[in-house]
């Protein structure tokens, strides 16, 4: 597995998003199966693993901590703070007060079974707490050895600059894929200027870009995608044009649509590290194959040409969740 740099932090060119092992995508798999998958990822060269306290909540950090304990010196674990969690275990708004950040850090250290957190993200910008206060609290945690690096998620360019001025930001994590390219306008130029790495989540469009779903696909009752406008049956049917275009290029490259989508992201900048999530070994191996797939200039031009002729249908989030990604 090739490696890349997020700021000064070196990680595998593709990471593994662990959220789905405990949260958001229907019934969770058996714990032993998830641990086996995490071990398989390490064996195949993955060194970058992504979790968060809100995933579960808490249980995903515990899973990742237990599974990766034998490999602690070989892996980089990223986790996140920034949400208030109610007594019922549900998200209760944002909370990035410095005292809360410190509480979450201490709890995450225990759940992850580590002495320091490799990369600690603010999960969402808190409109009630100046980003300078957030960055200041993270700087103190770094000075205390509780964290090595910190990052932001779904933050806007000005917020990134203000945080970076207090203490260097290592990485930004935001959604970015062939069907959500908004970061290209302001975010990527800002990150390049400041030397900050970029970690795209949902690089496969929450599974849609794999080509494995269509208008007839049924999701489990508790699958998060049931709430997303982009995943209505009508939107999925309309958006098949994008997958069909990827499939055409994939055939030419002896690859899969998922591999083309990930290879396209890797080709955008050398400091981009996607974190596709999966719960299956065959999907893990398919995704990792993208790291050795080289898209030539003609391939990239063909992808751009195809995208220019396709209109993506459906909003990324429903209206009640838009505030959590408002930059």
Cα–Cα distance for residue pair 274/270, rounded to 1 Å: 11
Report H helices in the chain.
Answer: 31-43, 59-68, 98-112, 131-143, 157-166, 187-194, 233-253, 257-268, 281-288, 297-308
Q: Which of 25, 55, 150, 176 is the catalytic position?
A: 55
Distances (CA, A) of 137 to 46, 99, 111, 144: 30, 8, 21, 11
How far is Cα of residue 316 from the mean position of the Cα atoms in its chain?
15
**Catalytic (active site) residue 58:** no
CA atoms of 262 and 297, how far apart (whole Å)? 16
Cα separation of 280 and 37, whole Å? 7
3-class secondary structure, 93: strand
- Catalytic residue positions? 55
């Amino acid at each position: 597995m090739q490696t890349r740099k997020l700021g000064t932090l070196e990680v595998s060119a593709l990471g593994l998003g662990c959220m789905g092992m405990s949260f958001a995508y229907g019934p969770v798999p058996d714990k032993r199966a998830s641990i086996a998958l995490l071990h398989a990822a390490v064996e195949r060269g993955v060194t970058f693993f992504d979790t968060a306290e809100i995933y579960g909540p808490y249980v995903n950090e515990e899973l990742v901590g237990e599974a990766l304990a034998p490999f602690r010196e070989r892996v980089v674990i990223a986790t996140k703070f920034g949400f208030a969690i109610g007594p019922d275990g549900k998200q209760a708004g944002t909370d990035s007060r410095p005292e809360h950040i410190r509480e979450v850090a201490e709890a995450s250290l225990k759940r992850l079974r580590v002495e320091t957190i490799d990369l600690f993200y603010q999960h969402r910008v808190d409109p009630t707490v100046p980003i300078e206060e957030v960055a200041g609290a993270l700087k103190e945690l770094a000075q205390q050895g509780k964290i090595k690096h910190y990052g932001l998620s779904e933050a806007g360019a000005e917020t990134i600059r203000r945080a970076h001025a207090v203490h260097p930001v290592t990485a930004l994590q935001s959604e970015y894929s062939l069907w959500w390219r908004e970061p290209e306008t302001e975010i990527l130029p800002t990150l390049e200027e400041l030397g900050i790495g970029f970690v795209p989540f949902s690089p496969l469009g929450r599974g849609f870009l794999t080509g494995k779903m269509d208008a007839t696909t049924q999701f489990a009752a508790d699958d998060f995608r049931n709430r997303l406008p982009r995943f209505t049956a009508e939107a999925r049917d309309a958006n098949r044009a994008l997958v069909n275009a990827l499939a055409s290029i994939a055939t030419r490259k002896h690859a899969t649509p998922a591999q083309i989508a990930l290879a396209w992201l890797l080709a955008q900048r050398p400091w981009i590290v996607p974190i596709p999530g999966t719960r299956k070994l065959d999907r893990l191996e398919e995704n990792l194959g993208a790291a050795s797939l080289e898209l030539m200039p003609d391939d990239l031009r063909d992808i751009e040409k195809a995208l220019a002729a396709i209109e993506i249908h459906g909003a990324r989030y429903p209206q009640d969740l838009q505030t959590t990604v408002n930059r």
